[in-house]
Amino acid sequence: MTIRVLLADDQPLIRTGLRVLIADHDDLVVVGEAGTGAEAVELAADTRPDVVVMDIRMPGMDGIEATRRLTTGNQPPHVLILTTFDEDEHVYGALRAGAGGFLVKDMALEDILAAIRVVATGDALIAPGITRRLIADFVGRPAVPAGPRRPTDGITDREREVLTLVGRGRSNHEIAAELFISAATAKAHVARLFTKLAARDRVHLVIIAYEMGLVEPPR
């Protein structure tokens, strides 16, 4: 299956570089380019991309607002944030808006292509350095009075294994490879964890894995 990609960045050089890179891969095709968030929303309605590679800081409507509009529409595309700016407010804003991935532009080009493929499957992906920072922020917060314990009795041993790997930053495909199961089965386990643990998103699952002691906080 060919993954249809829309590029949204106010820097033509960035768009050109990504377009040329994508052109060398038969499973990816660029269906449009936008220089603003508003253009991205309009073009997505016309071209129906599978993945929108979105910058954050663009003139007019920024990438976070564009992401929010795209992900709340009919047959929404998956959004991969690719930006120079990885401040926490941008990360949290993008995830709340519905982005499926968050990367910074200094990553290797092949890693960016791999991320497009991961996000296209409905999986989530966040740059490892950003994930570590989010977790460090969480574990560094002052302790709060304990509330009702999160119900975990309904989690199977296999789901606990999957949650542990999610907590270590593994994608669904990586979980499948480590546990010798299919990618579809891994995705189904993650979906059940979302329901059983009332998790908002994949980062929330990571935090839950730390809360349950399945993963050690970074020292």
Measured CA to CA in angstroms, residue 174 lies from 66, 79, 186 at distances of: 30, 20, 9
Task: Determine the angle formed by the axes of helices 88-97 and 128-139, rounding to 10 degrees.
Answer: 100
Instruction: Give me the residue spans of the domains in the chain.
Output: 3-127, 157-211
The pair of structure tokens assigned to 67 is 């992401």
The pair of structure tokens assigned to 175 is 């979980």
The yes-or-no verdict on residue 51 having pLDDT over 50 is: yes
May I ask the CATH class of domain 157-211? mainly alpha
Chain center to CA of 144: 28
Q: Is 61 left (phi over 0), alpha (psi -120 to 50) or beta?
A: beta
Q: CB count, 10 Å around CB of 25?
A: 14
pLDDT for 178: 92
User: What's domain 3-127's superfamily in CATH?
Assistant: Response regulator (3.40.50.2300)
The pair of structure tokens assigned to 64 is 């976070």
Q: Which of 43-57, 71-85, 126-140, 197-211 has the lowest mean pLDDT?
A: 126-140
C-alpha torsion angle, residues 138, 139, 143, 149 (rounded to 10): 80
The backbone torsions φ and ψ at residue 8, rounded to the nearest 5 degrees and listed phi first, read -125, 105
The backbone torsions φ and ψ at residue 82, rounded to the nearest 5 degrees and listed phi first, read -130, 110
**Model confidence pLDDT, tens digit, residues 127-172:** 766 656 665 565 555 544 444 445 556 789 999 999 998 888 788 8
The yes-or-no verdict on residue 208 having pLDDT over 90 is: no
**Model confidence pLDDT, tens digit, residues 86-118:** 666 777 788 778 888 888 888 888 888 988 998
The pair of structure tokens assigned to 161 is 């294994």
